[in-house]
């Protein structure tokens, strides 16, 4: 498994940005491994399969899906 970790020394680090800002970044960002939205959705799916409840990830997933639907970017 590959995990991307950004701390305050990384130019992509959003820190304590508002949830909506983080969600917008996820919806519109693509990295070398693909779309960020795909990474988030797969992470949420894997957590559910492992019976791990991560309130932050699941809430972010909801907001991202809503923004993606508005933007017409959900596949």
Whether residue 61 lies inside any domain: the answer is yes
Whether residue 46 lies inside any domain: the answer is yes
pTM above 0.85, yes or no: no
Closest CA to 33 of 68, 69, 3: 3
Q: What is the pLDDT of residue 2?
A: 66
HEC string of the chain equals CCCCCCCCCCCCCCCCCCHHHHHHHHHHCEECCEEHHHHHHHHHHHHHHCCCCCHHHHHHHHHHHHHHHHHCCCC
Whether residue 67 lies inside any domain: the answer is yes
pLDDT single digits (tens) 8-60: 898 878 888 899 999 999 999 898 889 999 999 999 999 999 999 999 999 99
Whether residue 20 lies inside any domain: the answer is no
Q: How many domains does the chain have?
A: 1
Which residue range forms the structural domain that includes residue 72?
Answer: 37-75
């Amino acid at each position: 498994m590959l995990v991307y970790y950004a701390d305050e020394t990384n130019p992509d680090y959003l820190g304590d940005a508002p949830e909506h800002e983080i969600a917008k970044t996820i919806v519109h960002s693509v990295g070398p491994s693909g779309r960020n939205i795909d990474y988030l959705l797969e992470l949420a799916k894997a957590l559910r399969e492992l019976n791990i409840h991560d309130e932050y990830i699941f809430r972010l997933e909801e907001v991202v899906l809503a923004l993606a639907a508005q933007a017409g970017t959900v596949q």
